[in-house]
Structure 1
Amino acid sequence: MKQKTFFITGIGTDVGKTIVSAIITEALEADYWKPVQAGDLDNCDTKKVQRLVSNFKSVFHPNTYALHTPMSPHAAAEIDGIAIDLKTIKAPQTQNHLIIEGAGGLLVPLNNEQTVLDIIKPHYKVIVVSRHYLGSINHTLLTVNTLKEKGFDVSIIFSGNEHPTTEAIIKKMTNIPVIGRIEEEPYFDKNVVREYAEKFKDSL
Structure 2
Amino acid sequence: MTSPIIFVTGTDTDVGKTFVSALLVQKWEANYWKPVQTGLESDRGDSATVEQLCANRAHIPRIFEPRYALQKPLCPLAAMDYEPDVNIQLSDFCLPEQSTGRPLVVEGAGGIYVPLTRQLHITTDLIKHLMESTNRPVKILVVGRSGLGTLNHMLLTLEHLHAANLEKHILGCILNGGKNPGNVKVLQQYGSTIVAEVDHCPSDDEFLAALDSIPDLAAIS
Alpha-carbon spacing, 1:22–1:11, altered in 2? closer, same or farther (3 Å): same
Structure 2 SS opposite 1:102: strand
Partner of 2:68: 65
Cα 1:6–1:188 change in 2 (3 A) is: farther
Say whether the 8 Å CA contact 2:196–2:215 is kept in structure 1.
no
Partners of 2:200 and 2:53 lie apart in 1 by: 16
Query: Which residue in 2 is equivalent to 1:84?
Result: 88
With normalisation by structure 1, the TM-score equals: 0.90
Report the secondary structure of 2:178's partner residue. Answer: coil
* Whole-Å separation in 1 of the counterparts to 2:59 and 2:149: 40
Note if 1:157 corresponds to 2:161. no
Q: Does 1:171 align with 2:196?
A: no
Q: CA deviation at 1:134?
A: 4.2
| 1:124 and 2:138 are equivalent in the alignment | yes
Contact 1:38/1:67 (CA < 8 Å) preserved in 2? yes
| Identical-pair percentage | 32
Cα distance change of structure 1 residues 88 and 4 upon mapping to structure 2, 3 Å threshold: same
Paired with 2:147 and 2:177, the residues of 1 have a C-alpha distance of 10
Q: Which residue matches 1:15?
A: 15
> Which letter maps to 2:197?
R
Deviation at 1:116?
A: 1.0
Amino acid at match of 1:118: D
Question: Within 5 A, what are the aligned runs for 1:175-194?
Answer: 175-185=191-201, 187-189=202-204, 191-194=205-208
Match of 2:116 in 1: 110
Alpha-carbon displacement from aligned partner over 1:100-155 (angstroms, at most 9, x marks no partner): 00011000101232011111144411111111454321111011122233234220
The 3-state SS of whatever aligns with 1:15 is coil
Q: Tell me the amino acid that sits aligned with residue 171 of structure 1.
A: Q
The TM-score, its normalising length taken from structure 2, stands at 0.83
| Cα pair 2:195 2:215 within 8 Å, conserved | no
User: Does structure 1 retain, via aligned residues, the 8 Å contact 2:19–2:200?
Assistant: no
Q: Which ranges of structure 1 fall in alignment gaps of 5 or more residues?
A: none
Which amino acid letter does the alignment assign opposite residue 23 of structure 1?
L
RMSD: 1.9
Instruction: Please state how far the C-alpha of 1:43 moved relative to its aligned partner.
Output: 1.5
The Cα of 1:184 is off from its aligned counterpart by 4.7
Match of 2:134 in 1: none
Q: 1:200 to 1:184 in 2, by over 3 A?
A: closer
8 Å Cα contact 1:74-1:83 kept in structure 2: no
Alignment-derived partner of residue 74 in structure 1: 77
- In the alignment, the residues of structure 2 paired with residue 196 and residue 163 of structure 1 have an alpha-carbon distance, to the nearest angstrom, of 15
SS of match in other structure, 1:200: coil
Aligned residues: 201
Contact persistence 1:31–1:59 (CA under 8 A): yes
- Checking the alignment, whether the CA contact within 8 Å between 1:22 and 1:193 is kept in structure 2 is no
